[in-house]
A = this chain, B = another copy of it.
Amino acid sequence: MNTKSFEVNGRHYDPPAKPIVVICMDGSADEYLDITMAHGRLPNIQKMSVSGYRGMVRGALPSFTNVNNSSIVTGVSPKVHGICGNYLYDTQLKQEVMMNSASYLRSGTILAAAADAGRKVAVVTAKEKLRDILSYKMKGIAISAEKANLAQLETHGIENVEAIVGTATPAIYSADASLFVLKAGVAFIKAGLADFLYLSLTDYMQHTYAPEAPESLAFYEAQDKLIGELMELGAVVGATADHGMNAKVKADGSPQVLFVEEMLEQQFGDLGFRVICPITDPYVKHHGALGSYVVVHLDATEKVEEVKNWLMQQQGITEVYDRTMAVHVLEQPEDRIGDLVVLSARDVVLGRRASYHDLAALDGTLRSHGGRYEEMVPMVLSHPLKPAYRIKAGGDPRNFDIFDFTINGTIV
């Protein structure tokens, strides 16, 4: 195995001659690990916690999937890599557009750099939407569980994936969509196809089930078993999450939503408000495009301060920043946000207008993310930390330091 070191986005990586596996456990609020471990059903993560490391790390905001996956594979904040949601209003084109394409990415990735340094890289993502960004300029394997059966050697670096993994392409709204990703990781290492892997799961289960639900316990137990297989293959494993997950409901269990565009029009009249929900993506069953973070554009820009102050006083809204402060406090790319950025409480989501969101599409209750209360996520490492990284882990480590911790920080 090639162990050349490499540099990307100002950081040096010096991987050991062992398989490196970084896992993004999508939507894994720490409570999912807590409860499953209390049930005795996370033996491998429990072992990692004792002989390696378990602690909390701070994700990037907004606490969405694309944003944090982009941060994890680049090692930098959204301010640098440019991906600040799934969806944005392009003020040049005057159009609302999806941001799922690598053409929006402004930084090279650790994966591409590792491949250039000679590692056999594989990226496996549950959702096809992430594949383009994660495989940006990368030589190696890049597949999604969702479209595993469509992978072609020329475009995906591999074919016959179902035969290699030994599992059929899963339904995207399932536990299997994530488990397939981990199974593919195990299979690729076993077959000698990869020695540097990024495995990115999906949070359909966390959107649908609370940590103590039997379905969730079984799901985490199954993940743990596959993580154990990765460790048995001699991998150095680092796992973190892109964001946490909270129930966003009233006392009666119904969704707790503030429709911000409607609220603003009711208060201020027509100032040309346009509220963008950057969680918006083609996968509606999870969250109905409702998260705890929206951006607000308005034509009447002289009213920004007034609108900001009013929003800050509304129950359920916790933070409001103008563009300049959003860049500073939330590490946002200045040209891809709105005039205002708005975050909501642990149990509140922000929407555009009632007619814009299809709550009937939800599977079960409304559990979502995007705000400050889904910012802190677990980090679990298979190997113990070097002293300098122990101090770093005790400071303000980020989830997008996970490659650094896994590669440079562990005693293998």
- The interface residues of chain A, by DSSP majority, are classed as mixed
Chain B nearest CB: distance from A306 CB in Å?
14
The residue in chain B whose Cβ has the minimal distance to the Cβ of A372 is: B372
B395 touches A347 (CB 8 A): yes
Interface size class of A (residues with CB under 8 A): 35 or more
Contacts of A396 on B, CB cut-off 8 Å? Answer: 345-348
B37 touches A56 (CB 8 A): no
A30 touches B39 (CB 8 A): no
B54 touches A38 (CB 8 A): yes
Q: A10 at the A/B interface (Cβ < 8 Å)?
A: no
B30 touches A49 (CB 8 A): no
Q: Say which one of A138-146, A160-168, A245-253, A282-290 lies at the interface with B.
A: A245-253
Q: Say which one of A175-183, A272-280, A352-360, A386-394 lies at the interface with B.
A: A386-394
B37 touches A37 (CB 8 A): yes
The residue in chain B whose Cβ has the minimal distance to the Cβ of A392 is: B251
* Copies of this chain in its oligomeric complex: 2
Q: A295 at the A/B interface (Cβ < 8 Å)?
A: no
Given contacts A325-B312, A394-B249, A396-B346, contact A50 B39 (CB under 8 A): yes
Given contacts A54-B35, A251-B395, contact A329 B347 (CB under 8 A): no
Contacts of A37 on B, CB cut-off 8 Å? Answer: 34, 37-38
Given contacts A37-B38, A38-B37, A54-B35, contact A394 B49 (CB under 8 A): no
Write out, one digit per residue, whether chain A residues 323-343 have a CB within 8 A of any chain B CB (1) or not (0): 001001100000000000000
B313 touches A318 (CB 8 A): no
A35 touches B56 (CB 8 A): no
Given contacts A329-B312, A394-B210, contact A251 B388 (CB under 8 A): yes
Contacts of A30 on B, CB cut-off 8 Å? Answer: 30, 34, 56
Q: A364 at the A/B interface (Cβ < 8 Å)?
A: no
Contacts of A35 on B, CB cut-off 8 Å? Answer: 49-50, 54
Interface residues of A (CB under 8 A from B): 30-31, 33-35, 37-39, 46, 49-50, 53-56, 58, 210-212, 246-247, 249-253, 256, 312-313, 318, 325, 328-329, 345-348, 372-373, 376, 388, 391-392, 394-396
**Interface pairs (9), CB distance under 8 Å:** A35-B49, A35-B50, A37-B38, A38-B54, A246-B394, A251-B388, A251-B391, A256-B395, A312-B328
Given contacts A35-B50, A37-B38, A256-B395, 12 further A-B contacts (CB under 8 A): A30-B56, A31-B54, A34-B54, A35-B49, A38-B49, A39-B50, A247-B391, A249-B394, A250-B395, A346-B396, A348-B396, A373-B376
7 interchain residue pairs of minimum CB distance: A38-B49, A247-B394, A347-B396, A347-B395, A346-B396, A38-B46, A253-B391
